[in-house]
Structure 1
Amino acid sequence: MADMSPMFRRSDRRTERTDMKKAPRERLVTLIRKPGCHLCDDAQVVVEKVCGELGVPWEGRDITQDEELHREYWEQIPVVLVDGAQHTFWRVSEERLRKALSS
Protein backbone atom coordinates (compact mmCIF):
# COMPACT_ATOMS: atom_id res chain seq x y z
CA MET A 1 0.00 0.00 0.00
CA ALA A 2 1.34 3.44 -0.89
CA ASP A 3 2.33 5.86 1.85
CA MET A 4 -0.57 7.96 2.99
CA SER A 5 -0.48 11.69 3.48
CA PRO A 6 0.44 12.65 7.07
CA MET A 7 -3.05 14.09 7.38
CA PHE A 8 -4.51 10.59 7.17
CA ARG A 9 -1.95 8.68 9.22
CA ARG A 10 -3.14 7.43 12.56
CA SER A 11 -1.15 7.18 15.73
CA ASP A 12 -0.11 3.78 17.00
CA ARG A 13 -1.24 5.03 20.40
CA ARG A 14 -4.88 4.44 19.55
CA THR A 15 -7.06 3.26 22.35
CA GLU A 16 -9.68 0.56 22.08
CA ARG A 17 -13.02 2.01 21.01
CA THR A 18 -16.25 1.03 22.65
CA ASP A 19 -19.86 1.71 21.74
CA MET A 20 -20.39 3.49 25.05
CA LYS A 21 -19.99 7.25 25.18
CA LYS A 22 -17.24 8.35 27.54
CA ALA A 23 -17.89 10.96 30.20
CA PRO A 24 -15.82 14.16 29.73
CA ARG A 25 -13.58 13.40 32.71
CA GLU A 26 -12.77 10.00 31.13
CA ARG A 27 -11.47 11.62 27.94
CA LEU A 28 -7.96 12.99 27.45
CA VAL A 29 -6.72 15.54 24.97
CA THR A 30 -2.98 15.68 24.37
CA LEU A 31 -1.37 18.68 22.69
CA ILE A 32 2.02 17.83 21.23
CA ARG A 33 4.01 21.03 20.75
CA LYS A 34 7.40 22.68 21.01
CA PRO A 35 8.56 25.94 22.59
CA GLY A 36 8.49 29.04 20.39
CA CYS A 37 5.90 27.65 17.97
CA HIS A 38 3.17 30.22 17.24
CA LEU A 39 0.83 27.56 15.80
CA CYS A 40 1.31 25.60 19.03
CA ASP A 41 0.36 28.66 21.06
CA ASP A 42 -2.78 29.13 18.93
CA ALA A 43 -3.66 25.44 19.31
CA GLN A 44 -3.25 25.62 23.08
CA VAL A 45 -5.76 28.49 23.28
CA VAL A 46 -8.34 26.36 21.46
CA VAL A 47 -7.59 23.22 23.50
CA GLU A 48 -7.79 25.11 26.81
CA LYS A 49 -11.08 26.75 25.84
CA VAL A 50 -12.86 23.64 24.54
CA CYS A 51 -11.56 21.30 27.25
CA GLY A 52 -12.34 23.86 29.95
CA GLU A 53 -15.90 24.31 28.75
CA LEU A 54 -16.53 20.56 28.41
CA GLY A 55 -14.65 19.49 31.55
CA VAL A 56 -12.21 17.35 29.61
CA PRO A 57 -8.67 17.00 30.99
CA TRP A 58 -5.79 17.85 28.71
CA GLU A 59 -2.03 17.61 28.80
CA GLY A 60 0.79 19.25 26.90
CA ARG A 61 3.76 17.27 25.61
CA ASP A 62 6.99 18.87 24.36
CA ILE A 63 8.61 17.13 21.38
CA THR A 64 11.99 18.57 22.35
CA GLN A 65 11.82 16.51 25.55
CA ASP A 66 10.66 13.20 24.01
CA GLU A 67 12.64 11.55 21.21
CA GLU A 68 9.80 9.22 20.20
CA LEU A 69 7.30 12.08 19.89
CA HIS A 70 9.87 14.11 17.95
CA ARG A 71 10.46 11.26 15.51
CA GLU A 72 6.74 10.71 14.94
CA TYR A 73 5.40 14.27 14.86
CA TRP A 74 8.24 16.76 14.17
CA GLU A 75 6.81 17.87 10.81
CA GLN A 76 3.21 18.03 11.97
CA ILE A 77 3.25 20.07 15.18
CA PRO A 78 1.10 21.10 16.79
CA VAL A 79 -0.65 17.74 16.94
CA VAL A 80 -3.79 17.04 18.95
CA LEU A 81 -4.58 13.54 20.16
CA VAL A 82 -7.98 12.62 21.55
CA ASP A 83 -7.86 9.56 23.78
CA GLY A 84 -4.49 8.64 22.27
CA ALA A 85 -5.57 8.79 18.61
CA GLN A 86 -4.47 11.58 16.31
CA HIS A 87 -7.29 14.08 15.89
CA THR A 88 -5.60 16.87 13.91
CA PHE A 89 -2.40 18.78 13.30
CA TRP A 90 -1.17 22.26 12.34
CA ARG A 91 -4.46 24.14 12.86
CA VAL A 92 -7.00 23.17 15.50
CA SER A 93 -10.67 23.76 14.76
CA GLU A 94 -12.65 24.61 17.87
CA GLU A 95 -15.84 23.24 16.31
CA ARG A 96 -14.24 19.98 15.19
CA LEU A 97 -12.56 19.37 18.55
CA ARG A 98 -15.80 20.11 20.41
CA LYS A 99 -17.66 17.65 18.18
CA ALA A 100 -15.05 14.93 18.68
CA LEU A 101 -15.21 15.33 22.46
CA SER A 102 -19.01 15.40 22.50
CA SER A 103 -19.48 12.19 20.54
Structure 2
Amino acid sequence: MSDQPRVRLYSRAGCHLCDQARVVVEKVCAELGESFDEVDIDGDPVLREKFTDEVPVTFVDGSQHDFWRVDETRLRTALTR
Protein backbone atom coordinates (compact mmCIF):
# COMPACT_ATOMS: atom_id res chain seq x y z
CA MET A 1 0.00 0.00 0.00
CA SER A 2 1.37 3.41 -0.96
CA ASP A 3 1.76 6.31 1.44
CA GLN A 4 1.26 8.67 -1.48
CA PRO A 5 -1.97 10.68 -1.52
CA ARG A 6 -4.47 9.54 -4.17
CA VAL A 7 -5.24 13.14 -5.14
CA ARG A 8 -2.77 15.75 -6.31
CA LEU A 9 -3.78 19.35 -6.94
CA TYR A 10 -1.54 21.46 -9.16
CA SER A 11 -2.12 25.13 -8.45
CA ARG A 12 -0.51 28.54 -8.17
CA ALA A 13 -0.69 31.40 -5.71
CA GLY A 14 -3.28 34.08 -6.41
CA CYS A 15 -5.49 31.77 -8.48
CA HIS A 16 -9.15 32.04 -7.43
CA LEU A 17 -10.08 28.85 -9.28
CA CYS A 18 -7.30 27.07 -7.37
CA ASP A 19 -8.77 28.33 -4.10
CA GLN A 20 -12.21 27.01 -5.10
CA ALA A 21 -10.76 23.67 -6.21
CA ARG A 22 -8.86 23.28 -2.93
CA VAL A 23 -12.09 23.65 -0.95
CA VAL A 24 -13.75 20.87 -2.97
CA VAL A 25 -10.72 18.57 -2.81
CA GLU A 26 -10.34 19.12 0.95
CA LYS A 27 -14.03 18.41 1.55
CA VAL A 28 -14.25 15.25 -0.54
CA CYS A 29 -10.96 13.83 0.73
CA ALA A 30 -11.95 14.50 4.36
CA GLU A 31 -15.33 12.82 3.87
CA LEU A 32 -13.73 9.74 2.30
CA GLY A 33 -10.68 9.52 4.55
CA GLU A 34 -8.33 10.20 1.65
CA SER A 35 -5.34 12.49 1.63
CA PHE A 36 -4.19 14.91 -1.03
CA ASP A 37 -1.18 17.01 -1.74
CA GLU A 38 -0.79 20.28 -3.55
CA VAL A 39 2.01 21.38 -5.85
CA ASP A 40 2.64 25.01 -6.82
CA ILE A 41 3.42 24.87 -10.54
CA ASP A 42 5.39 28.12 -10.39
CA GLY A 43 8.10 26.34 -8.39
CA ASP A 44 8.93 24.06 -11.33
CA PRO A 45 9.54 25.37 -14.87
CA VAL A 46 8.38 22.09 -16.45
CA LEU A 47 5.08 22.10 -14.53
CA ARG A 48 4.58 25.81 -15.20
CA GLU A 49 5.01 25.21 -18.95
CA LYS A 50 2.73 22.16 -18.92
CA PHE A 51 -0.14 23.46 -16.77
CA THR A 52 0.01 27.27 -16.84
CA ASP A 53 -3.22 27.66 -18.85
CA GLU A 54 -5.10 24.85 -17.07
CA VAL A 55 -4.63 25.38 -13.33
CA PRO A 56 -6.01 24.14 -11.14
CA VAL A 57 -5.35 20.62 -12.39
CA THR A 58 -6.28 17.56 -10.36
CA PHE A 59 -4.87 14.07 -10.67
CA VAL A 60 -6.42 10.97 -9.11
CA ASP A 61 -4.28 7.86 -8.76
CA GLY A 62 -1.68 9.36 -11.09
CA SER A 63 -4.03 10.22 -13.97
CA GLN A 64 -5.32 13.65 -14.87
CA HIS A 65 -8.86 14.01 -13.61
CA ASP A 66 -9.96 17.65 -14.07
CA PHE A 67 -8.70 21.10 -14.88
CA TRP A 68 -10.03 24.64 -14.19
CA ARG A 69 -12.77 23.35 -11.90
CA VAL A 70 -13.21 20.32 -9.67
CA ASP A 71 -16.63 18.69 -9.79
CA GLU A 72 -17.39 17.35 -6.31
CA THR A 73 -19.55 14.44 -7.50
CA ARG A 74 -17.10 13.39 -10.19
CA LEU A 75 -14.17 13.46 -7.72
CA ARG A 76 -16.12 11.46 -5.14
CA THR A 77 -17.00 8.87 -7.80
CA ALA A 78 -13.39 8.54 -8.90
CA LEU A 79 -12.25 7.99 -5.33
CA THR A 80 -14.88 5.38 -4.51
CA ARG A 81 -14.36 3.13 -7.55
TM value normalised by structure 2: 0.92
Change (3 A) 1:86 1:53: same
5+ residue gaps, structure 2: none
Query: For 1:1-103, what aligned pairs fall within 5 Å after superposition?
Result: 28-103=6-81
Q: What is the number of equivalent residue pairs in this alignment?
A: 80
Q: Match for 1:55: what amino acid?
A: G
**Partners of 1:29 and 1:81 within 8 A in 2:** yes
- Corresponding residue for 1:5? none
Q: CA separation in 1, counterparts of 2:78 and 2:6? A: 11
Unpaired segments ≥5 residues, structure 1? 1-22
CA contact (8 A) 1:26 1:56 kept: no
TM-score, length of structure 1 as denominator length? 0.73
Question: Higher strand fraction: Structure 1 or Structure 2?
Answer: 2
The structure having more radius of gyration, on CA atoms, is 1
Q: Shift of residue 72 of structure 1?
A: 1.1
Q: Give, in angstroms, the shift of residue 54 of structure 1.
A: 0.4
